[in-house]
Amino acid sequence: MMENKEFQQKIADLLPDIVLKFAQPMAKHTSFRIGGPAKVLAFPKSPEQLRQVLKVSAFLDKKYRILGAGTNVLAPDEGIEDIVICLKDCLDGMEQIDDTHIRVAAGVTMTRAAVYAAGLGLGGMEFAHGIPGTVGGGVYMNAGAYGGEICQICQSVDVMYPDGEIRTYSGEQMDFSYRHSRLEEDGGIVLSAVFALEKKSEQQIREQMQDLLKRRKTSQPLDLPSAGSAFKRPVGGYAAALIDQSGLKGFRVGDAAVSEKHAGFVVNLGNATAADVRHLLQSVSDKVFEDSGIRLEPEMRIW
């Protein structure tokens, strides 16, 4: 294995135009505030720069991981040897295509996209206001909240593959299902998405977004680091209700805890480790299965 300094110089020489950071704690790049140092983080500012990073990753025989806003990720305590490609605020930009369609780059946050649509008097993205991740991550996992999902508004997606090829898929071709898209299997990286919206009163849109934000603040532990909903919604029930019924609100492993405010959230009380969170997730899943016969599966991405 190359020594770190040698590797850093090698990748810096190969990617002279791309912002790189070395040995950065993933705790600084995830909403959970958990994770050891990443060997290298790359911040490509365009699809062409992303293609360059993918090409260099292959040349160096290094795996890579795609990071958006880091709001749905549990990074490992020991750090990451793979190249972490950060797209938030890098693949940036929004444009109105016609009266009811907008194109949004993958690194734009869901909240920014919803506010942009509202300013154009376009409704349909209200549910996304307050979802903390990026559009790329939202499309990748078909993010949703309060009855809305990306699949309901996604008309098309531009996707880059590891070999640098770009393909465009319709919403139907994305094979969306609950917290899932085709990209989970085929390794594609979202570059941008076109959303089909509807003309609506800007005031009405903003009032609805404020109402949803108020509901979030009232019901969710937004004052503590977390990765959002810890578990996927199971068939035949709701994760938070099942966890609550098992008496697990406040259950702790180290500084990782089931939120007292919303049982569907796992929060970092200060110094939680990834090991703490993994242990807690398994313990909660086992207890709920014992009590209800329903097996909860993590919604967060465990690296």
The residues facing 168 across adjacent strands are 158
Q: Give backbone dihedrals phi and psi of 249, rounded to 5 degrees, phi first.
A: -60, 130
User: With contact defined as beta carbons under 8 Å apart, do 115 and 129 qualify?
Assistant: yes
Tokens representing 128 are 């996304």
Q: How far apart are CA 33 and CA 10, in angstroms?
A: 29
Other CB atoms within 10 Å distance of the CB of residue 170: 11
Q: Which two tokens stand for residue 257?
A: 């805890």
DSSP 127-182: GGTT--SBHHHHHHTT-EETTEEGGGTEEEEEEE-TTS-EEEEETGGGT-BTTB-T
Q: Judge contact between 266 and 277, C-beta under 8 A.
A: yes
Residues 6+ apart with CB under 8 A from 70: 26, 29, 30, 31, 32, 88
Biggest CA-to-CA distance, the chain = 59
Q: Which residues are catalytic?
A: 179, 229, 299
Phi, psi of 263 (to 5 degrees): -65, -15
